[in-house]
Amino acid sequence: MRGMFIETETTPNPAALKFLPGRQVMPAGTREFTDPEAAEASPLAQALFDTGEVTNVFLGGDFVSVTAAPGTDWSQLKPQVVSVLLDHFVSGAPLFVGGGASGIAVPAEESLTVEEDPADADIVAQIHELLESRIRPAVANDGGDIVYRGYRDGIVHLQMQGACSGCPSSTATLKHGIEGLLKHYIPEVTEVRAA
């Protein structure tokens, strides 16, 4: 496809850039690759890790966030990343080995870090609603995602992914922005912790 243009945006993490190919990347959910071994599941992620300067690849609905190793010169790396993305989208290559979407979205139930009390089901439902409607869209703007890891005794456990996982502001975002929002709407919530 000629004339394809990939936009880039900065993220709160100076080491990460967000690339917008102008089309859908992930049909549903998000997927993070934190090392070359994990990236073998996706030809696109693998090609990005193959530049040798990439430490994290995060696939969102309509973007790819790439985190570079410390000291990387983005002016050198950015054209390489753009070229990898263009090759991928123009050739119509599958996003994952085997072409299927298997293993993309991991059900939250399997990955809770705390055991939930069934009596808290209403609170948990409210937390999910806020995460989906308010918090995840904002975090996606920053080139990442947030994963729910459980609620227990007033404490919400969340995990930051993508550009947001390594950035200096992620803890602040988690503690102030997200904690403030959840406490405001759900009085039972007393704290948000990074899982």
Tell me what pLDDT residue 103 has. 45
Task: Considering only residues 165 and 43, tell me which one the structure prediction assigns the higher pLDDT.
Answer: 43
The pLDDT, as a whole number, for residue 156 is 93
**Is the CATH code 3.40.50.2300 the one for domain 108-194?**
no
Under the banding of pLDDT at 50, 70 and 90, the label for residue 172 is: low
pLDDT, mean of residues 32-47 = 93
H and E: helices and strands count for the chain: 7, 8
Listed by start position, the domains of the chain span: 7-91, 108-194
Bridge-partner residues for 192, per DSSP?
156
Question: What is the mean predicted confidence (pLDDT) over 86-103?
Answer: 75
pTM: 0.67
pLDDT score at 49: 96
Question: Which residues make Cβ contacts (< 8 Å) with residue 159, sequence separation at least 6?
Answer: 146, 147, 149, 165, 194, 195
Query: By 3-state DSSP, what share of the chain in percent is helix, strand and coil, each rounded to 5?
Result: 40, 25, 40
Could you tell me which of 135, 136, 148, 118 has the C-alpha nearest to residue 177? Answer: 135
* pLDDT one-digit tens code per residue, 100-159: 444 444 433 447 788 889 899 999 999 999 999 888 888 888 888 888 999 999 999 988
Q: CA-CA distance, 7 to 161, in Å (whole number)?
A: 21
pLDDT attached to residue 123: 94
> What pLDDT is attached to residue 65?
95
Confidence of residue 13 (pLDDT cuts 50, 70, 90): confident
Cα–Cα distance, 39 to 162 (Å, whole number): 14
- Is the CATH code 3.20.20.70 the one for domain 7-91? no
What was the pLDDT predicted at 3?
60
